[in-house]
């Protein structure tokens, strides 16, 4: 069975879940073709070797570029016009695009071999404008599975979403997936029918983490860690304040922040104001292997994701929470977005009141002081994370392919 994929750009360093989807589908015998608006090169992936081993580059249909040589360019144009599918679509597509350059023709060339079939689109905004417009002029007639990952549910108001996508969804979309119940509700607000939506969590490669059940000693230095972009939505400032509270209670705390972002100066100023420079360490961006090492050396994972004050957006899921649990770490965060879907409350972690740094500190204190509880949570976290192994979660996509594919 052939499955087409559509991505805005590929590969992205952080989008390991997409790589898992592509590789696993291919390994299970599906004939895949990947359309992308921008190819970034395998070196831009944290899983470059996995992509090479599975020859994913051979399955890419990259954007078409005309030669800079005038003669070669004329030959390319001439050959394109000999293709009946392209020839009959040039006028309606140029009329729709309202452009006088060669970019619409380049798009028609890129998609000329797309046959009627199942198209899995990662990130809803990857539909627009190309897939929506090519379908409108009947250049392609896909059956679509659209997967939302988070930010793409916040790019449009309900009105603008309906204007862009309503007709396309009605004619072509057979299923929609989200990675959490929170994100499902956000997509419903856009006007997508609830009956179309399947909640499929993002999976992780459990074998990468090899977590061991941990113990803790309240008299030793307690290692807290957060991994994520340093942006307001991620809420690290509340974890910093929780650290201050724990230190005031007499605990020896080290809090490691991994990631970069435009909120770093604000966080650094908060650390300085609270006299925490010896306790809070900014490590910057790290590779996946380095992150795994940091997780293995830590005691508790802090997941203080909250909401963006500007647009109200929250964390759609929280993949790193699962990675931390797979490493044997209890996870403590806020009742915000999709994060609560990643833990078993009271068994592998806690979700406390949003932006309440005192509540964060109290939960850290509780598991520090109760060694048996900590060890039990560490064991349960590893077991819970194993149910999110990418082979299990990605298999749910394959079930949809079999259901809706030809």
Does the pLDDT of residue 236 top 90, yes or no?
A: yes
Q: What's the order of all strands across the beta sheet hosting 173-178?
A: 60-61, 31-39, 2-10, 118-122, 143-147, 173-178, 197-199
Per-residue pLDDT reduced to its tens digit, 348-405: 999 999 999 999 999 999 999 999 999 999 999 999 999 998 878 888 999 999 999 8
Per-residue pLDDT reduced to its tens digit, 115-151: 888 999 999 999 999 999 999 999 999 999 999 999 9
- Cβ pair 60, 18 in contact under 8 A: no
DSSP per-residue letters across 108-129 = HHHTTTPPSSEEEEESGGGGTT
Pairing of strands 197-199, 173-178: parallel
- Cβ pair 285, 14 in contact under 8 A: no
Measured CA distances, 49 to 45, 55, 104 (Å) = 9, 10, 34
Over residues 260-269, the mean pLDDT reads: 97
Does the pLDDT of residue 406 top 80, yes or no?
A: no
**What pLDDT, on a 0 to 100 scale, did the predictor assign at position 368?**
95
**What pLDDT, on a 0 to 100 scale, did the predictor assign at position 14?**
64
**What pLDDT, on a 0 to 100 scale, did the predictor assign at position 50?**
85
**What pLDDT, on a 0 to 100 scale, did the predictor assign at position 199?**
95
CA dihedral 24, 13, 351, 330 (to 10 degrees): 80
Can you read off the two tokens belonging to residue 108? 């028609």
93 pLDDT tier (thresholds 50, 70, 90): very high
CA dihedral 159, 165, 167, 171 (to 10 degrees): -150
* Distance (Å, whole) CA 341 – CA 183: 11
Per-residue pLDDT reduced to its tens digit, 163-172: 999 999 999 9
* Distance (Å, whole) CA 354 – CA 184: 20
How far is C-alpha 329 from the chain's CA centre? 21
SS3 for 235-300, per residue?
A: CHHHHHHHHHHHHHCCCCEEEEEECCCCCHHHHHHHHHHCCCCCCEEEEECCCHHHHHHHHHCCCE
Considering just the CA atoms, what is the radius of gyration of the chain in Å? 24
Rounded to the nearest integer, the mean pLDDT of the chain is 94
Does this chain's domain 2-203+390-404 share its CATH topology with 206-386? Answer: yes
- Under the phi-then-psi rule, with left for phi > 0, alpha for psi from -120 to 50, and beta for the rest, what region is 271? alpha
Per-residue pLDDT reduced to its tens digit, 283-306: 999 888 899 999 999 999 999 999
- Domain 2-203+390-404 matching CATH 3.40.800.10: the answer reads no
**What pLDDT, on a 0 to 100 scale, did the predictor assign at position 394?**
85
In this structure, how many other beta carbons lie within 10 angstroms of the beta carbon of residue 356? 16
Q: Which residue has the tokens 């627009």?
A: 128
Q: Show me where the domains of the chain are located.
A: 2-203+390-404, 206-386
Does the pLDDT of residue 220 top 70, yes or no?
A: yes
- Cβ pair 127, 146 in contact under 8 A: yes
Per-residue pLDDT reduced to its tens digit, 199-210: 999 888 888 888
Does the pLDDT of residue 282 top 80, yes or no?
A: yes
* Count of residues in the chain: 406
- Cβ pair 29, 402 in contact under 8 A: no
Least confident of 8-17, 304-313, 338-347: 8-17
Those residues with Cβ within 8 angstroms of residue 83's Cβ, 6 or more apart along the chain or in another chain: 112
Measured CA distances, 339 to 111, 201, 237, 387 (Å) = 38, 11, 17, 16
Report which of 319, 316, 293, 301 is spatially closest to residue 364, judged by C-alpha positions: 301
**What pLDDT, on a 0 to 100 scale, did the predictor assign at position 49?**
85
Does the pLDDT of residue 46 top 80, yes or no?
A: no
Name the 3-class secondary structure at 372.
Answer: helix
Q: Give the global pTM.
A: 0.85
* Distance (Å, whole) CA 162 – CA 309: 25
Those residues with Cβ within 8 angstroms of residue 72's Cβ, 6 or more apart along the chain or in another chain: none
More confident residue, 145 or 23: 145
Over residues 18-32, the mean pLDDT reads: 91
CATH class of domain segment(s) 206-386: alpha beta
11 pLDDT tier (thresholds 50, 70, 90): confident
């Amino acid at each position: 069975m052939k499955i087409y994929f559509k991505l805005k750009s590929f590969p992205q360093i952080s989008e390991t879940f997409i790589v898992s989807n592509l590789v696993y589908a291919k390994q299970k015998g599906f004939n895949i073709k990947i359309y992308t608006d921008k190819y970034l090169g395998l070196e831009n992936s944290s899983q470059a070797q996995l992509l090479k081993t599975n020859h994913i580059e051979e399955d890419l249909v990259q954007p078409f570029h005309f030669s800079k040589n005038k003669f070669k360019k004329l030959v390319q144009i001439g050959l394109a016009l000999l293709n009946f599918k392209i020839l009959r679509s040039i006028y309606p597509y140029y009329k729709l695009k309202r452009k006088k350059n060669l970019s619409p023709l380049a798009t028609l060339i890129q998609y000329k071999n797309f046959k009627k079939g199942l198209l899995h689109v990662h990130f809803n905004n990857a539909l627009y404008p190309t897939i929506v417009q090519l379908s409108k002029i009947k250049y392609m007639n896909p059956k679509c599975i659209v997967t939302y990952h988070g930010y793409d549910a916040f790019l449009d108001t309900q009105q603008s979403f309906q204007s862009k996508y309503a007709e396309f969804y009605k004619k072509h979309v057979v299923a929609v997936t989200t990675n959490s119940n929170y994100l499902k509700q956000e997509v419903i607000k856009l006007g997508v029918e609830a009956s179309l939506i399947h909640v499929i969590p993002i999976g992780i490669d459990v074998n990468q983490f090899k977590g061991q059940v941990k113990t803790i000693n309240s008299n030793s230095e307690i290692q807290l860690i957060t991994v994520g972009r340093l942006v307001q939505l991620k809420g690290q400032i509340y974890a910093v304040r929780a650290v201050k509270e724990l230190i005031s209670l007499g605990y020896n705390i080290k809090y490691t922040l991994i990631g970069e972002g435009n909120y770093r100066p604000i966080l650094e100023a908060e650390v300085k104001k609270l006299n925490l420079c010896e306790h809070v360490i900014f490590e910057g961006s790290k590779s996946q292997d380095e992150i795994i090492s940091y997780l293995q050396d830590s005691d508790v994972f802090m997941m203080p994701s909250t909401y963006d004050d500007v647009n109200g957006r929250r964390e759609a899921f929280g993949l790193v929470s699962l990675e931390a649990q797979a490493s044997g770490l209890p996870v403590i965060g806020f009742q915000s977005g999709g994060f609560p879907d990643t833990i078993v409350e009271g068994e592998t972690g806690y979700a406390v009141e949003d932006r309440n740094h005192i509540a964060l500190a109290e939960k850290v204190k509780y598991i520090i002081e109760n060694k048996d509880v900590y060890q039990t949570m560490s064991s349960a976290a590893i077991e819970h994370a194993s149910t999110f192994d990418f082979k299990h979660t990605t298999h749910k996509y394959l079930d949809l392919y079999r259901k809706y594919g030809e």
